[in-house]
Amino acid sequence: MKVLILYGGRSGEHEVSCLSAASVLRHLNPRRYTPLLCGITREGHWFLQEDSRVQAVLQGADLQVHPGAEVSIVPAKGFQAGGALLDLDMVFPVLHGTFGEDGTVQGLFEMTGVPYVGSGVLGSSLGMDKEKAKQVWQYEGIPVVPFRSFVPEDHQEARGDIPGKTLRRLWQEWTAALQVPLFVKPARAGSSVGITKVHSFQELAPAMKTALSFDSKVLIEKAVTAKEIECSVVGNLAPRAFIPGEVEPHHEFYDYEAKYIDPDGAALIIPARIPEKDQHRIMELAVRAYRACEARGLARVDFFFHEDRGELYLNEINTMPGFTHISMFSKMCEAGGLEYSAVLDELIALGLQEFTRRNTLQYTRA
């Protein structure tokens, strides 16, 4: 099978995508797949990478986006590079964040009629929008971290810089409902990009400015002091969850630096150090959350668990989680008996299965 690995992208998670894609490339079974690389620059240009660069990454070189034959999309046909259609069996979009994990590129794949790995348009967009995902889970009776949201256009006086009197009023409302400290974050971003932990009113304005630089909607959440538990889920209509793991941050919270820059930023513990009955409870809720969002292929579902009180909160779902061989998603799968290369085999098979299912549907009147 010819598998096109799509990586890079315009989001703040460009570097993370390059790391994940390099790991995917190195673990694809060469007897089963012929890999191609398509890198997306920070400006949004798509370039097919030369085979020599594929070989260099396979031998340990870092993966970056280099100029090459520009890739374009031909509706109902596929991908084109150098004036010719690419012969592809599957696209593996190892893209994190905006313009990759939010349903936009998945819609593009649907228009071209090319099979792809992972969630479709709805599952991807719901997973990216933390507010909308929480509302869906609340409807399903799944406990979520208490939250509020902020959109400047909803406040006549806040179109532009947010006035101090508006911030003071919001601070009073939010702290009354959620207490202090608060997390202020972009509603549609990942990898802890743009997140600030706010302990006082004086910290609110710069936190809001940071979040609004990444998204036009801000999520304000209660800072839950509890264990951070993550759970891998794989499947389409009948997904299965793997034994959950625990993140023990060595920073104030599990921020971008702790995840990707500081090698000692966090300890990843599998299985999570919680009672077995609670592990199974988390696995059950992870599958429910996955199905509620209509996720497909894979996801990592994140929770907060307060063992003393037995309180469990669903935090978020990541429909294309970090995918290096040391990422929690792949490590939890491995702990459950599914090695990294076998995960890739299954995800590609699930992508083909979902493509076949969609193609049995009728879209025009007879």
Q: Which residues are annotated as a binding site?
A: 130, 183-185, 191-192, 221-228, 302, 315-316, 318
Nearest to 201 by CA among 165, 239, 167: 167
Torsion angle (degrees, nearest 10) of CA 324, 327, 329, 334? 80
Catalytic residue among 11, 13, 119, 230: 13
Nearest to 230 by CA among 250, 244, 248: 244
Token code pair at residue 6: 């799509």
Q: Please give the distance of CA 203 from its chain centroid, rounded to a whole number.
A: 27
φ, ψ of residue 160 in degrees (nearest 5): 125, -145
* 140 noted as active-site residue: no
CA distance 305 to 322: 22
* 191 noted as active-site residue: yes
| DSSP H or E run through 312 | strand 311-318
CA distance 134 to 131: 5
* 327 noted as active-site residue: yes
The angle subtended at Cα 331 by Cα 325 and Cα 334, nearest 5°, is 105
| Positive or negative torsion for Cα 136, 140, 142, 143 | positive
Which residue shows structure tokens 């992208």? 9
Helix, strand, coil % in the chain, rounded to nearest 5: 35, 25, 40
Catalytic residue among 17, 119, 124, 191: 191
Annotated binding site for ATP: 130, 183-185, 191-192, 221-228, 315-316
Token code pair at residue 283: 């696995």
Catalytic residue among 246, 327, 330, 354: 327
CA distance 304 to 314: 7
Question: Distances from the Cα of 28 to the Cαs of 23, 32, 183, in angstroms?
Answer: 9, 8, 38
CA distance 315 to 296: 19
Annotated binding site for Mg(2+): 302, 316, 318
Burial class (CB in 10 A: 0-12, 13-18, 19+), 269: middle
- Catalytic positions, written as ranges: 13, 191, 327
